[in-house]
């Protein structure tokens, strides 16, 4: 496989990731609405720790685990920012 083919495969995966992240953010918007109605805090340390543990357990290639977990840390950070925007 040459570099161009590899990049085409990455582009295809990126397209799928964008669609999945968009779906996730739509759900995050719904979470923000529920938190607003119930006066719950945006940040839930226990929930985020549970998510990161679940993600780490799901990684098949353990060499990649810290990197994939780091991506989810960033996703959750952005999700909190989005919730804050929705609650304004």
CA atoms 23, 30, 28, 61: torsion sign: negative
pLDDT for 88 equals 84
Start-end of H helices in the chain: 3-38, 45-58, 65-87
Task: Work out the mean pLDDT of the chain and round it to a whole number.
Answer: 97
Tokens standing for residue 12: 């295809």
Domains of the chain and any CATH numbers: 3-87 (1.20.59.10)
Tens of pLDDT, residues 34-77: 999 999 999 999 999 999 999 999 999 999 999 999 999 999 99
Whole-prediction pTM: 0.91
DSSP state of 42: S
CB 79 within 8 A of CB 25: yes
**What per-residue confidence (pLDDT) applies to 3?**
97
- Contact assessment for residue 33 and residue 82, using Cβ atoms and an 8 Å cutoff: no
């Amino acid at each position: 496989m040459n570099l161009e083919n590899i990049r085409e495969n990455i582009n295809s995966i990126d397209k799928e990731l964008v669609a999945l992240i968009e779906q996730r953010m739509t759900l995050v918007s719904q979470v923000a609405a529920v938190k607003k109605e119930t006066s719950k805090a945006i940040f839930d340390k226990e929930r985020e720790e549970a998510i990161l543990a679940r993600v780490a357990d799901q990684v098949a290639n353990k060499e990649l685990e810290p990197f994939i977990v780091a991506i989810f840390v960033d996703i959750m950070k952005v999700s909190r920012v989005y919730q804050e925007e929705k609650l304004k």
